[in-house]
Amino acid sequence: MKIAIASGKGGTGKTTVAVNFALALEDVQLFDCDVEEPNCNLFLGFDLEPVEEVTCLVPEINPDWCTLCKNCASFCKYNALAALPNKILSFPSLCHGCGGCRHVCPAESIEEKPRPIGMIEKTSSKNSLTFFRGILDIGEVMATPVIRALQRHIDESRPVILDSPPGTACPALAVMGCADYCVLVTESTPFGFHDFLLALEATRALKVPAGVVLNRDGIGDSRVEDFCRAEGIPILLRIPDERMIARLYSEGIPFIKEMPEWKEKFKNILKTINTVTCKSKGV
Amino acid sequence: MKICISACGKDLDSEVDPQFGRCNYFVLIDPDTGSVTSIINPGSEASGGAGIRAAEAIACAGAGILLTGSVGPKSFSILSEAGIETYSGIRGTVDFALKEYKSRKLAILKGPNTSLSNGMKKS
């Protein structure tokens, strides 16, 4: 069972939900897939060790063999190659590693060399919670390959919670798309609702069943709830707009540690999800 | 050795566009013959690497001198590799920019004068 914690809008509480959810369950894995700003460990404080470096294959052109045909530069949709009258220049930071330039080179003058773009880390200490995270190097733009590399470390035999990047761009879709279920965290404000609809549309396009966690419940209005009732989307949990929860967040403490009554509520999310996904599989 | 000017339109009366990578056209003037030609900037609509496409295009069009406004680091590396002398500070029409260049009022660029993806901020 792979559960993605996602949202259209940023700052709705994905990491809060992911961390507390993971701590409430036993024998679970938590993967921080928000590789541009992996925040889970701010709340966990685990010692981490490197697992692997993530690389992207970028072209290296042998000028002795290059015939200056320009096929490579005109093929590259990301403009990572420039064909000057007497030389091909490459800009590795724009390269998406598709290998197309090498494929279209008639002179076989292009070799692909790995370029580091990020890192995968995991907990080094023995914890009941298995924690992995990906980190995209500063200045790099391709989050998706780091997310894909991170996902290869998932142990499919155990439940995993994936903390997704916000939005509905490629990195978020890479996380939502690999999940069996998507928990959409939102708040019932005009902005929260608007971006929730975008995220919901993404889960529908990806054919991943989705439910909602209403965060900061009590602020705004009832527009998310009304919508969910009309559409038959389950509201899995309501986290109230409470000072205690906000204070613990600001101190980097997962709130279930200080408010143990929430453990059961998070466990119930998994029960609901299991029921829904069993039904959708016809079990 | 053609003089190339980043512009909104195709001729001498067109307004200049100081955004090198994202301008619509490059107007090319041959100072020996006085001929004026133009090319569409293939980078103007690029999702990324606009300056790369723009610099490549003017190098292949035979530009030796570029009059523009802002040039980012990737574009600048191509321009210097191609041996194109770049001047910044253009304003007004293409014709006016050309006159300013000829009367040595434009400053030569020794390095990039803007950061990455600056052209994306164009309104």
Task: For A38-76, write each residue's pLDDT tens digit.
Answer: 999 999 999 999 999 999 999 999 999 999 999 999 999
Q: Report CB contact under 8 Å: B78, A78.
A: no
Can you give the residue range of the structural domain that contains A165? 2-46+127-280
Same domain, A81 and A213: no
Q: Is B81 on the interface with A (CB under 8 A)?
A: yes
pLDDT at B45 over 50: yes
For B85-102, write each residue's pLDDT tens digit: 999 999 999 999 999 999
Average pLDDT over residues A103-121: 97
Tell me the chain B residues in contact with residue A73 when contact means C-beta distances shorter than 8 Å: 56
- Chain B, nearest residue to A85 by Cα: B60
Question: CB of A132 within 8 A of CB of A50?
Answer: no
User: Domain holding A81: CATH number?
Assistant: 3.30.70.20
Please, what is the average pLDDT of chain B?
93
CA B19 from centroid of its chain's CA atoms: 8
The answer as to whether A226 is a domain residue is: yes
Report which of A120, A134, A121, A124 is spatially closest to residue A47, judged by C-alpha positions: A124
The answer as to whether A51 is a domain residue is: no
Question: CB of A224 within 8 A of CB of A186?
Answer: yes
Tell me the chain B residues in contact with residue A85 when contact means C-beta distances shorter than 8 Å: 59-60, 82
Tell me the chain B residues in contact with residue A89 when contact means C-beta distances shorter than 8 Å: 77-78, 81
Read off the pLDDT band of A279 (50, 70, 90).
confident
Q: In the prediction, which pLDDT does B123 show? A: 45
Same domain, A133 and A27: yes
Question: Side chain identity at A273, as an amino acid letter?
Answer: I
pLDDT at B119 over 70: no
- The CA distance from A213 to A96, in Å, is 35
pLDDT at B112 over 80: yes
Q: Report CB contact under 8 Å: B82, A84.
A: yes
SS3 content of chain B, % helix, strand, coil (to 5): 25, 25, 45
CB atoms within 10 A of CB B69: 20
Higher pLDDT among residues A255 and B122, named by residue = A255
| B101-105: Cβ within 8 A, 24+ apart | B101/B3, B101/B65, B101/B67
The answer as to whether A122 is a domain residue is: no
Q: In the prediction, which pLDDT does A141 show? A: 86
Tell me the chain B residues in contact with residue A87 when contact means C-beta distances shorter than 8 Å: 81
| Vertex A170: Cα angle to A36 and A168 (nearest 5) | 90
| CA–CA min distance A181, chain B (Å) | 32
Question: CB of A174 within 8 A of CB of A146?
Answer: no
Average pLDDT over residues B25-38: 96
Q: Report CB contact under 8 Å: A82, B78.
A: yes
For A21-43, write each residue's pLDDT tens digit: 999 998 899 999 999 999 999 99
pLDDT at A273 over 50: yes
The answer as to whether A177 is a domain residue is: yes
Q: What is the ipTM of this complex?
A: 0.84
Q: In the prediction, which pLDDT does B117 show? A: 67
Same domain, A80 and A13: no
Token reading at A26: 């036993």
pLDDT at B12 over 70: yes
| CA–CA min distance A84, chain B (Å) | 6
The answer as to whether A105 is a domain residue is: yes
Q: In the prediction, which pLDDT does A204 show? A: 97
Same domain, A246 and A154: yes
Read off the pLDDT band of A79 (50, 70, 90).
very high
Same domain, A106 and A131: no
The domains of chain B are located at 2-114
Number of domains comprising chain A: 2
State pTM to two decimals. Answer: 0.81
| CA–CA min distance A88, chain B (Å) | 10
User: Domain holding A233: CATH number?
Assistant: 3.40.50.300
Among A55-59, A121-125, A157-161, B32-36, the minimum mean pLDDT is found in A121-125
Please, what is the average pLDDT of chain A?
94
Read off the pLDDT band of B47 (50, 70, 90).
confident
Q: Is B22 on the interface with A (CB under 8 A)?
A: no
Greatest alpha-carbon span in chain A: 70
Q: Report CB contact under 8 Å: B49, A89.
A: no
The answer as to whether A192 is a domain residue is: yes
Tell me the chain A residues in contact with residue B55 when contact means C-beta distances shorter than 8 Å: 82
- The CA distance from A70 to B10, in Å, is 26
Q: Are strands B2-7 and B63-68 parallel, antiparallel or unpaired?
A: parallel
Same domain, A83 and A155: no
Same domain, A89 and A211: no
Same domain, A62 and A143: no
pLDDT at A88 over 50: yes
Higher pLDDT among residues A282 and A76, named by residue = A76
Same domain, A159 and A258: yes
The answer as to whether A121 is a domain residue is: no
Tell me the chain A residues in contact with residue B56 when contact means C-beta distances shorter than 8 Å: 73, 82-84
Q: Which of B56, B74, B79 would best serve as a mutation to test chain A binding (most A beta carbons within 10 A)?
A: B56
Smallest Cβ–Cβ distance between B49 and the set A83, A85, A91 belongs to A91
For A186-236, write each residue's pLDDT tens digit: 999 999 999 999 999 999 999 999 999 999 999 999 999 999 999 999 999
CATH classification for the domain delimited by B2-114, as one of 3.30.450.20, 3.30.420.130, 3.90.480.10, 1.20.1090.10: 3.30.420.130
Q: Is B49 on the interface with A (CB under 8 A)?
A: yes
Same domain, A177 and A262: yes
Residue B69 neighbours by CB under 8 Å, 6+ apart = B6, B16, B17, B18, B19, B20, B88, B89, B90
Q: Is B57 on the interface with A (CB under 8 A)?
A: no
DSSP H or E stretch at residue A267: helix A262-280
Same domain, A219 and A273: yes
Same domain, A14 and A152: yes
Q: In the prediction, which pLDDT does B13 show? A: 97
